[in-house]
Amino acid sequence: MAEFDVAIVGAGAGGALAAAMLGRAGHRTCLIDPARQVGSQFRCEKLEAAHIGALRRAGLLAEIAAQGERYDTIWIARQGRLVERRPRTEYGFDYAQLVTALRGAVPETVARIADQVTAVTPGAEASTLALSEGRTLSARLVVLATGLQPALAESMGMTRRVVSASHSLSIGFDVAPVGRAHFDFEALTYFGEHPEHRVSYITFFPLHDRIRANLFVYRDRGDPWLDRLRSDPVAAIHEVLPRLRRLTGEFAVLDTPRMRPVDLVDTVGLDKPGVVLIGDAFSTACPVSGTGAAKALVDAERLCNGFVADWLRQPEITAADVARFYVDPEKVASDQFSRNLSLSAKRLALEPSLAWEAYRWVRFAGSIGRNAVSALRHPHGSHRVARS
C-alpha cells in the first residue's frame, strides 16, 4: 500500500493549489482526480482581489497571473450612467486555464493519480483511500476538494444542508462591439436597473483575444425569459437592462450563452479525524459575490500555510485538530464575507421596499462621489461621459 503524508482528492482550483503548496514544502503528497485534462467548465472567469490575495500569500501570484489577461480600470455604471472609474487590477481567466495553470505549478514530487476515490476510511493515525481500479492508499491527512460532488463526503456520514435553493443563475457569453473595433472601456460592471428585472449586474472584461460578459440574474431555470435569451440574446439583455447600451453602444453576442444555476449549500457532520474539506465541498458561494473560486483558494492557502505542517508533526490528527481549521479567523472571515455578500446582493437586487430603494441610491451617490474626487485629483485624466 502506497503511503503519503497528504492525499488530495480533487484537482480543481483549491485542490491544485494545495498540491502545489504542499509539494513545494516537501510533504509526501498525492493529487487524485480521474480527469488528466481540465475540461471546459463555465465557472470563475476572472481573478479579483480575494483570488489575488490568496495566490500572493501562496507565493504563486506572479506565476499564475502571467497567464491571465490583466486590466487595471473598471467602469462602474448604474441607471445608464457612468458613475465611477475604479482603479483595480483584475485578470480575465478561463476556469479551465486557471486550473491548468495551478496544476502546472504542482512539482514533479507530487504523485498524480488519474483515478476515482470510491471510499475513505477516516483515522486519526492514518486514513485509507480505496480507488476504483482496486488500489488502496494510506495518508496521514485527506483533503477533500471534490467541489459539488458530495458522494464521498456523504459516504463518511457528512450531509449537505441547503441554505438557499436555486439562489441565482450565472450566464456567460462572448461579445463584440458593432460598428467599431473596441468598447470604450477596459472592463465594465453595470448594475440592475429595477427589481422587476431580477438582475444583479452584468460585467464585461477582456479574456485573451475576446471580450467576455457575465450576467447574474435571480431566475428559475424554467423562466420564459431564458428562452428569449437563447433565441435572441441581445434583445433579451436589453429587455432587462434597457439603458445598458448608453455605456456599451450596440454589441453582438457571439456564441450560445452558457448557464449555471447555483444553490447555497453547507456540509455538516465534519467531525472526522484526518479528513478536511475545502472549497465548495465545505460550502458553496453565489457567483454574484465573486468569491466562489476565491474561497477555495483561501481555504487551500490557510490549510497549507497554517495547519498541515503542525498536524503532520503530531502522532494523530484528531477531529478536534481538524475543527480548528474550520474556525481559523481568516477562513471564517472569508466564509462569512462570501455568504453575507451572496445573500445581501440578492436582497439589494430584488427588494422593492423604500428602505432598499434608498440604499440603492446611496450606493449610486457614493460611486458618483468617488468619481468626482478622482477627477479632482487627476484633472488631466480621461473622464469623458459615456454616450447618451
Q: What is the pLDDT of residues 199-258, one digit of tens each?
A: 999 999 999 889 999 999 999 999 999 999 999 999 999 999 999 999 999 999 999 999
User: Same domain, yes or no, for 200 and 222?
Assistant: yes
For residues 204 and 339, membership in a common domain is answered with no
- Pair (196, 243) in one structural domain: yes
Select from 310, 309, 274, 328 the least CA-distant residue to 25.
Answer: 309
Residues 188, 288, single domain; the answer is no
Are residues 226 and 134 located together in one domain of the fold? Answer: no
Q: Are residues 268 and 254 in the same domain?
A: no
- For residue 97, the model assigns a pLDDT of 93
Q: Which has the closest alpha carbon to 18: 217, 228, 328, 278?
A: 278
Residue 168: inside a domain, yes or no?
Answer: yes
Residues 337 and 279 in one domain: yes
**Which of 193, 242, 162, 222 is CA-nearest to residue 350?**
193
pTM for this entry? 0.90
Residues 257, 179 share a domain: yes
- pLDDT tens digits, 68-92: 999 999 999 999 999 999 999 999 9
The CATH number covering residue 198 comes to 3.30.9
Is 85 contained in some domain?
Answer: no
Per-residue pLDDT of the chain (388 residues; tens, 9 = 90+): 899 999 999 999 999 999 999 999 999 999 999 998 888 889 999 999 999 999 999 999 999 999 999 999 999 999 999 999 999 999 999 999 999 999 999 999 999 999 999 999 999 999 999 999 999 999 999 999 999 999 999 999 999 999 999 999 999 999 999 999 999 999 999 999 999 999 999 999 999 889 999 999 999 999 999 999 999 999 999 999 999 999 999 999 999 999 999 999 999 999 999 999 999 999 999 999 988 889 999 999 999 999 999 999 999 999 999 999 999 999 999 999 999 999 999 999 998 876 667 766 676 555 545 444 444 444 444 433 334 3
Is 82 a member of any domain?
no
CA distance 4 to 138: 6
Type of residue numbered 246: R
Q: How many domains does the chain have?
A: 2
Whether 269 is in a domain gets the answer yes
Same domain, 224 and 186: yes
Residues 305, 257 share a domain: no
User: Does residue 125 fall inside a structural domain?
Assistant: yes
Instruction: Tell me, yes or no, whether 44 and 34 share the same domain.
Output: yes
User: d(Cα 107, Cα 97) in Å, to the nearest integer?
Assistant: 18
Q: Is residue 107 part of a domain?
A: yes
pLDDT, residue 113, reads 98
Residue 383 lies in a domain: no
Beta strands in 146-209 (DSSP E): 159-177, 187-191, 199-207
Instruction: Please indicate, yes or no, if residue 385 is contained in any of the structural domains.
Output: no
DSSP state of 283: B
Query: What 3 state SS string does the chain have?
Result: CEEEEEEEECCCHHHHHHHHHHHHCCCCEEEECCCCCCCCCCCCCEECHHHHHHHHHHCCHHHHHCCCEEEEEEEEEECCEEEEEEEEEEEECCHHHHHHHHHHCCCCCCEEECCCEEEEECCCCCEEEEECCCCEEEEEEEEECCCCCCHHHHHCCCEEEEEEEEEEEEEEEEEEECCCCCCCCCEEEEECCCHHHCEEEEEEEEECCEEEEEEEECCCCCCHHHHHHHHCHHHHHHHHCCCCHHHHCCEEECCCCEEEEEEEEEEECCCCCCEEECHHHCECCCHHHCCHHHHHHHHHHHHHHHCHHHHHHCCCCCHHHHHHHHCCHHHHHHHHHHHHHHHHHHHHHHCCCHHHHHHHHHHHHHHHHHHHHHHHHCCCCCCCCCCC
Rg (CA), the chain: 22
Instruction: Specify the CATH number for the domain of residue 42.
Output: 3.50.50.60
Per the structure, the complete domain to which residue 24 belongs is given by 2-70+91-163+264-345
Do residues 136 and 171 share a domain?
no
